[in-house]
Structure 1
Amino acid sequence: MNYNLCGLTGRVVILEDPCYDEARQNYNQAIQQYPLIINYCRDKWDVANAVIWSEKYHMPIRIRNGGHNYEGYSNGDGVLIIDVSEMIDMDLDENKNLLYVQGGVTNELVYEFVSSKGYPFPGGTCPTVGVGGYALGGGWGLSCRFLGLGCDSLEEIELVNFKGDIIKANRTCNEDLFWACRGAGGGNFGVVVSMTFRLPPKTGNVTLIEIDYLHVTSGEQEEFLGIWQEWLKSADPRITLIARVYHSVNDGLAMLARGIFYGGPDEARQMMKPFLELAGAESSFEFITFLEAVTMIGNTYPPFEKFQSASRFVLHDFSRREISGLVGLIRSRAEGSVFAGLSLYALGGRVREISTDETAFFYRKAHFIIWLETVWEENRFANENRSWVNDRFPALAFVTTGSYVNFPYSRLPNYLEEYYGTHVRRLEWIKEKYDPDHVFSFPQDLRGEPPFQVRIPENHRDEVPAKAPGDAAYRGFRYVGNHTG
């Protein structure tokens, strides 16, 4: 393909640049992709120019901020990446109770900014996840049962459309697009260059909860899952937890519960009593600022990983037999796996109070999200670990419903219905209205992958790191992270 880079503005990285191999990496480094061009945009006009340029040269686009898409859909081979990670301006209007952010801000940046004014924010757990992708896909985080999902606080978005025009969407302007972008907006309709969020009430200290159980038995993991689903039925909406049963190199079979409570530690301990009564519980209840809490959670994340995962929603109580089957999924790890786990993300509370059809996020009535994952360090074990998830997915799917679009899984059958439920037809209509030429595409978008692909030179295909510099950390680091959003 012959093309001229004139017309692209901002910072441009191509195959020949020394920084290319670093710039092309995803957070999930099990996925190695080779874009032709990475355009780091510094304002919305750079984004508009990139969209117009891509149409001129018929080059497929991917939209990237933090690069945390589990299946690498914010990247690709032979594509133009529109990277908005350098667009990080923020403003806070306390008179109108609004937060304005550009499309490149991350959880970490937002937390630091709003906390300086005394506010919390319903963001995600991993500090380097982009708030845009997080909120546009729904946005589960450790404040969601109290403050709602990330998309529930959105008041307006500004995006660059398929023509390179800059448009806005809110409850009175392009309201169908605004509806769609709150749960299905990640990469489907345009490049989001700014977002306006409604601020939650100011808060004082919160309680950071951590309960760990190391070197347990499968029976104890089953008991933990039973307690979890009973506890969640009547849990105070001020508390949101991640629970996990897992099997790691360092901890053997183990469990944990971690979360944030908008209240004091004594009340939190009382709420968590069923978990604390389990044998081997090691607990911590710290009464700290919101920023300190989310920073401590964020510090558990490595700079990148190699993993394969799949997510589902849970809409009914598991029977004892089903709980036993779920725990059995992680009893043995794949060859080379350093961590295998089932993570449980609490829903309910404010999430359930909002009607199913108010936003594109469909699974408002789910009890929790369940997420199956395996992590490995060495590239030679990738196939075994991917097969480990693929082989177990049918058993997980049999007792669950749908999948969370922010935790994508490439082998989903009927992925549109799995991600969006009965909202699919409306979303497809909105996609056709706002992107009739299918400029914005990726493998699991609302219309499917475009037919053309640009070939990458063979000499770049072998440039896959044999071992990432952060991998050794797994030998001494108890893996408890997730990549929410």
Structure 2
Amino acid sequence: MDSLYFNGLTGEVVTPIDPVYEEARQEWNRAINKFPLVIVYCERKQDVVNAIRWARKRCVSIRIRSGGHHYEGYSTGDCVLVIDVSRLNALKLDKKRNILTIGAGAKNTEVYDFVGSHGFVFPGGTCPTVGVTGFTLGGGWGFSSRLYGLGCDSLLELELVDYEGRLIMANKYCNSDLFWACRGAGGGNFGVVVSMTFQLPKPTNRSVTIVRFYYVGTTKAKQAHVMNIWQHWQPNLDKRMTLVASFYNAEGEGLGIYATGFFYGSQDEARKILQPFAQVEGFRVTLEESSFLEAVKKVEASYPPSEKFKSTGRFVYRSYSLSELENMAEVVEQPADGSVYSAVSFYALGGVISNVGPEETAFYYRDARYIMGVQSVWTEDAFVEENREWVRERFEYIKSITEGSYVNFPISHLKNYEHEYFGGNARRLNRVNEKYDPFHVFRFPQSLR
């Protein structure tokens, strides 16, 4: 294609003939294999404006990418323009007012380093290279959520470039309907977010205890038993603790149970809280007290640089019978061909998350007890379809016993996806979308319609 075709684009422009294209088109999930027409690394807000205007003039579809962690790869696509905001990653801290302003490309690890070095806490995600913007726009669950809320709960304001290339400010006083919508349903919809402002929790000297527990020698029956303890223990859990528990089947290891997360308090208190799990034979626990920054660094170190996976999540509102729990444990008993790790995981909700009403932000599932996720990880490309199909089949069972899907753990081919992701807020979201993106410029496979 003639290079003149790309005239008008600014920032670093990468096309299929460039040597860096192969690396530039990759998502964190290496199972996503898409070939964009052009990728623009935006270094200024004006680069975003120019990219939107260029795409509209040529009728080229737009995708928006920050950290490149979208589970289904909707931040890229075939023959699309990818607006990559990862270089818009400036950070600014107002220590007097505990206010953080970030560029839309800032990643968890960058924000943690920055605020942590100043003695602050940020309720971000667990994976270091996830873009904070994408995390926040979908609600945003992490190891601080039950104490400090979801990512979107501390958002004060955002700047967004709309379909005409105009810079719009949204907060609770100005474009408040857009601000409401972006707290839970903003990922890829409405426009390209270029900056965000957060209210940080007041700095404290309180240490963080990293909680990790697991069982030596696990069976399907033990997995169901521990799930049962979890479902009775979690609704009244001290809000200072946020955990994810995984019931897994790993290559070379077999069935296992592993839980990890943060407790904003001492090791001794954490040990007492975990007592119900200690009653089950084989229980092992490690508790490590450290600063917030040291704690997130240790979590970050557990992530690989990339992965091939399919993963998704639903909201749990009720207790399950023992036979239902056994069915859940059965989900991982026969993994897909080529799977190196499959799991059903429980991500704790509650705490301050449920202090916000379902309609106060676009994140609707405030009263859920936890998110139930199902995933499979593989290494060989030959097994991609078997693993995707395995997750889809198990998802159908989990869907039958849960309510609503978590938009940050999305799944393709989801019928009535707007209602599944946004519940009772779906209609209002479509009205907001009609107002701010009337020509549906920001379309992707599960965008608002």
Q: In which range does the TM-score fall when normalised by the shorter chain?
A: over 0.9
Q: CA deviation at 1:298?
A: 1.1
CA distance in 2, matches of 1:98, 1:336: 46
**AA at the equivalent of 1:251:** E
Match of 1:380 in 2: 382
Q: CA deviation at 1:321?
A: 1.2
**Paired residue secondary structure (1:390):** helix
Is 2:289 the counterpart of 1:290? no
CA distance in 2, matches of 1:183, 1:390: 24
Q: CA deviation at 1:386?
A: 1.2
Match of 1:435 in 2: 437
Match of 2:79 in 1: 78
C-alpha distance after superposition, 1:290-329 (max 9, x if no partner): 1111111111111111111221100111111110111111
CA distance in 2, matches of 1:317, 1:241: 18
**Paired residue secondary structure (2:18):** coil
Match of 2:105 in 1: 104
**Paired residue secondary structure (1:428):** helix
**AA at the equivalent of 2:296:** V
Residues 214 and 251 in structure 1, CA contact (< 8 A), matched pair in contact too: no
CA distance in 2, matches of 1:254, 1:358: 39
| Aligned counterpart for 1:415 among listed residues 403, 417, 420 | 417
**AA at the equivalent of 1:55:** R
CA distance in 2, matches of 1:348, 1:233: 7
**AA at the equivalent of 1:330:** V
Q: CA deviation at 1:97?
A: 2.0
**Paired residue secondary structure (1:350):** helix
CA distance in 1, matches of 2:390, 2:204: 43
Match of 1:404 in 2: 406
Q: CA deviation at 1:287?
A: 0.7
Alignment of 1:54-133 (within 5 A): 54-133=55-134
CA distance in 1, matches of 2:313, 2:363: 15
Q: CA deviation at 1:332?
A: 0.9
**AA at the equivalent of 2:344:** L
CA distance in 1, matches of 2:65, 2:180: 22
Closer, same or farther: CA 435–182 of 1 in aligned 2, 3 Å: same
**AA at the equivalent of 2:389:** S
Match of 1:445 in 2: 447
Alignment of 1:7-406 (within 5 A): 7-204=8-205, 205-406=207-408
Structure with more relative contact order (C-alpha pairs < 8 Å, separation 6 or more):
1
C-alpha distance after superposition, 1:96-120 (max 9, x if no partner): 2210000000000000100111111
Q: CA deviation at 1:383?
A: 1.2
Root-mean-square deviation over aligned CA pairs: 1.0
CA distance in 2, matches of 1:274, 1:284: 16
**AA at the equivalent of 1:384:** E
CA distance in 2, matches of 1:201, 1:227: 34
**AA at the equivalent of 1:161:** D
C-alpha distance after superposition, 1:253-281 (max 9, x if no partner): 00011110111110010011112232212
**AA at the equivalent of 2:172:** R
Task: Give the TM-score of the pair, scaled to structure 1.
Answer: 0.91
Segments of 4+ moved more than 6 angstroms: none
C-alpha distance after superposition, 1:316-372 (max 9, x if no partner): 111111101111111111111101101111000000011111100000000000110
**AA at the equivalent of 1:372:** V
Q: CA deviation at 1:389?
A: 1.2
Unaligned stretches of 5+ residues in structure 1:
448-485
CA distance in 2, matches of 1:307, 1:203: 38
C-alpha distance after superposition, 1:216-255 (max 9, x if no partner): 1111101110011111021000110011100001321000
CA distance in 2, matches of 1:182, 1:344: 23
C-alpha distance after superposition, 1:375-420 (max 9, x if no partner): 1111111111111112222211111111000000002111110000
Residues 214 and 252 in structure 1, CA contact (< 8 A), matched pair in contact too: no
Task: Give the TM-score of the pair, scaled to structure 2.
Answer: 0.98
C-alpha distance after superposition, 1:14-60 (max 9, x if no partner): 00001101100011111100001000001111111111111111111
Structure 1 window deviating more from structure 2 (135-144 vs 242-251): it is 242-251
**AA at the equivalent of 1:435:** D
**Paired residue secondary structure (1:309):** strand
CA distance in 1, matches of 2:98, 2:120: 10
**AA at the equivalent of 1:444:** Q
Closer, same or farther: CA 85–214 of 1 in aligned 2, 3 Å: farther
CA distance in 2, matches of 1:346, 1:251: 26
**Paired residue secondary structure (1:4):** helix
**Paired residue secondary structure (1:243):** strand
Residues 312 and 371 in structure 1, CA contact (< 8 A), matched pair in contact too: yes
CA distance in 2, matches of 1:74, 1:17: 20
Q: CA deviation at 1:214?
A: 4.0
C-alpha distance after superposition, 1:411-464 (max 9, x if no partner): 2111110000010110000001000111111100001xxxxxxxxxxxxxxxxx
Unaligned stretches of 5+ residues in structure 2:
none
**AA at the equivalent of 1:376:** W
Residues 341 and 372 in structure 1, CA contact (< 8 A), matched pair in contact too: yes
